[in-house]
């Protein structure tokens, strides 16, 4: 493994970028915004590339290049302006990645992107790291799908190997009668398909791990996640699982970070079964929605940690300082949140402190992530009481 890492290494273990350096961010969404806010507090400068004028990251960066992600000339301009380049989403154009690797310093490299952009490659890499994933099968025809569904049983989940997020690009097959329609629908994406055996989990967990070029690794406390309509609704920390499960989830994330030669952050999403088994569901090589709780609840936020990692500074302490519940604000929750925030009685539950983060997106669409609220409280129950009392999420 060490020899393979040396061959694929795109970073310099001795290179350190102190505050004052310019960080280029490929992508101008909310993850880039919060990364820039954390990095600017440390003294770094930021330039972002995004096709949307006045993007969330562009609003707080020193400069935004407004251009499509596949624009090679814009990518070259980003390379000229930045001392180091990072990304805030996985679907980076291959030609742009190649140019940036040649003309700038991209310590995260392209190998991990190549792996995590494709579900089959990702699962094989996780298995090679010695970590369990749920049983799966590569699907090349409707006949292969029908045979795999019989083998796995129903329900099972058919997914496109590339693309898809927040429940898109997948089909839960509940009977053999759905096989043809599921295959016809998802095969239109013209990418490989993968069938996953349904894991009857009791909890969904995630761990954010960080690794720097100098080889230092640290993991944030495991979060317990609750999804509604395939979109993250709550992250609950500490996760309501036995301590040994938390430790094992964090150990698995650290192992993946080391074995996959991660630089920066990697989010590891897991299923916990009734018999205490943990299976990795998927990876994201960047800051993650389920790590937003770290912004006030941990000694170091995931965004500061990412900046520290790509700059090769010593990693910060990820220790949890207070129980916290992160709740997402979607488009339909924005107006109720704005109505709540100006009320004198906004803090309805004693002992709960609400930290509001809005991302500066121009249009509040239903189902679109517009912000989040971190509820710092003595107990999870107090935070849940606050959510109910606020009436912001009554529709859920």
Binding residues for ATP, as ranges, are 119, 159, 164-170, 196-199, 204, 227, 281-282
Reference 43, options 21, 16, 15, 17; nearest CA is: 21
- Residues found in the chain: 396
**Known binding-site positions:** 119, 159, 164-170, 196-199, 204, 227, 281-282
Q: Is the dihedral of CA 293, 298, 302, 307 positive or negative?
A: positive
Q: CB 269: neighbour CB atoms within 10 A?
A: 20
Q: Where are the beta strands (DSSP E) in the chain?
A: 22-26, 45-50, 63-66, 84-87, 136-139, 156-160, 170-173, 193-197, 201-211, 217-219, 223-228, 231-237, 264-273, 278-284, 324-330, 353-358, 369-376
Using CA atoms, how far residue 374 sits from 59, 103, 322, in Å, is: 22, 39, 11
How far is Cα 305 from Cα 285, in angstroms, rounded to an integer? 13
**Helices and strands in the chain: count of H runs, count of E runs:** 13, 17
């Amino acid at each position: 493994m060490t020899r393979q890492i040396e061959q694929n290494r795109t970073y310099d273990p001795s290179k350190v970028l102190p505050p004052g350096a310019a960080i280029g961010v490929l992508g101008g969404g909310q993850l880039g915004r919060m990364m820039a806010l954390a990095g600017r507090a440390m003294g770094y400068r930021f330039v972002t590339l995004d096709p949307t004028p006045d993007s969330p990251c562009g609003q707080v960066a020193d400069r935004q290049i407004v251009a499509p992600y596949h624009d090679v000339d814009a990518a070259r301009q980003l390379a000229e302006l930045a001392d180091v380049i990072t990304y805030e989403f996985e679907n980076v154009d291959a030609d742009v990645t190649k140019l940036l690797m040649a003309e700038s310093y991209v310590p995260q490299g392209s190998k991990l992107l190549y792996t995590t952009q494709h579900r089959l490659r990702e699962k094989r890499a996780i298995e090679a790291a010695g970590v369990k994933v749920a049983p799966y099968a590569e699907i090349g025809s409707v006949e292969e799908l029908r045979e795999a569904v019989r083998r796995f049983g129903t329900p099972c989940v058919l997914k496109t190997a590339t693309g898809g997020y927040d429940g898109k690009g997948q089909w839960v097959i509940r009977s053999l009668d759905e096989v043809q329609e599921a295959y016809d629908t998802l095969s239109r994406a013209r990418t490989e398909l993968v069938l996953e055996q349904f894991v009857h989990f009791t909890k969904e967990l995630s761990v954010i791990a960080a690794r720097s070029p100098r080889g230092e690794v640290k993991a944030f406390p495991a979060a317990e996640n609750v999804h509604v309509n395939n979109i993250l609704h709550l992250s609950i920390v500490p996760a309501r699982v036995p301590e040994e499960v938390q430790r094992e989830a964090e150990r698995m994330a650290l192992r993946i970070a080391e074995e996959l030669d991660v630089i920066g952050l990697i989010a590891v999403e897991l299923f916990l079964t009734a018999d205490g088994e943990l299976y990795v569901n998927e990876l994201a090589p960047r800051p993650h929605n389920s790590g937003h709780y770290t912004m006030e609840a941990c000694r170091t936020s995931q965004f500061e940690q990412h900046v520290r990692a790509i700059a090769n500074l010593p990693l910060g302490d990820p220790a949890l300082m207070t129980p916290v519940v992160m709740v997402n604000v979607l488009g339909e929750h924005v107006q109720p949140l704005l109505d709540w925030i100006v009320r004198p009685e906004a803090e309805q539950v004693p002992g709960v402190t609400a930290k509001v983060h809005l991302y500066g997106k121009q249009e509040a669409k239903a189902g679109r992530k517009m912000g989040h609220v971190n509820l710092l409280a003595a107990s999870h129950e107090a935070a849940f009481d606050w959510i109910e009392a606020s009436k912001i999420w009554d529709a859920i």
